[in-house]
Amino acid sequence: MLSLIQREVVENKKWASDEEVLDYYAVAQCTPGVIAVNTATFIGYKTKGVLGAIAGTFGVVLPSLIIISIIAAVLQNFMEYSIVGHILAGIRVAVAVLIINAVVTMGKKAIADKLCAVIAVVSFIVSVIFPKVSPIFIVLSAAFVGLVTMKKGGEGK
């Protein structure tokens, strides 16, 4: 996604430089929400202000809106056929594997030390035992733990 944004914004439209796009991307990772959307919003804002931000956001989500609506509508109509059930049963296995792999990839980046490992394990156990506990509660608790264990004058890492 980033390379696509870079090609379009830097090379084709010349709205920003390579460094600027990387900066926007870095900032987008530190704001809540979907990173690609944040990057598009940010580039839109830097290029054409509030209207640019809205246009950028709208543009980046529109393909998803159209494509997913079509697929969801089609799938809804094919659900009665038993073969669709079999296909989806196979796909469920693939999705489980994909998410396991994603967890491993994320874990390598996110778990930098023992404290991170403890936070990850506790979050895992809490969400398994209490499936209805709000993820917001877990996110805020994790932020709290991070902040209270911060060393004075530390670099935040």
Partner 1 sequence: MIWLRLFIEFFKTGLFAIGGGLATIPFLRVMSETTGWFDARNLSTMVAVGESTPGPIGVNMATYVGFTAGHGKSGMLSALFGGFLATFALVLPSVIIILIVAKVLATFKENKFVKRSFYSIRPAITGMIASVALMMTKSGVFTKGGNLLHSIDIRAAILFAALLILTQKVKLHPIFYILIAGTVGAIFSM
- Cβ 8 to partner 1, closest distance in Å? 14
28-56 residues labelled b (16+ CB within 10 A) or e (exposed):
beeeeeeebbbbbbbbbbbbeeeebbebb
Closer CB to partner 1, residue 13 or residue 125? Answer: 125
- Cβ 84 to partner 1, closest distance in Å? 9
- Cβ 13 to partner 1, closest distance in Å? 19
Q: How far apart, in Å, do the first and last CA atoms of the chain sit?
A: 27
Side-chain-side CA neighbours of residue 73 (13 Å): 6
Q: Helix, strand, or coil here: 113?
A: coil
Closer CB to partner 1, residue 6 or residue 57? Answer: 57
Closer CB to partner 1, residue 6 or residue 142? Answer: 142
Closer CB to partner 1, residue 17 or residue 127? Answer: 127
- Cβ 14 to partner 1, closest distance in Å? 20
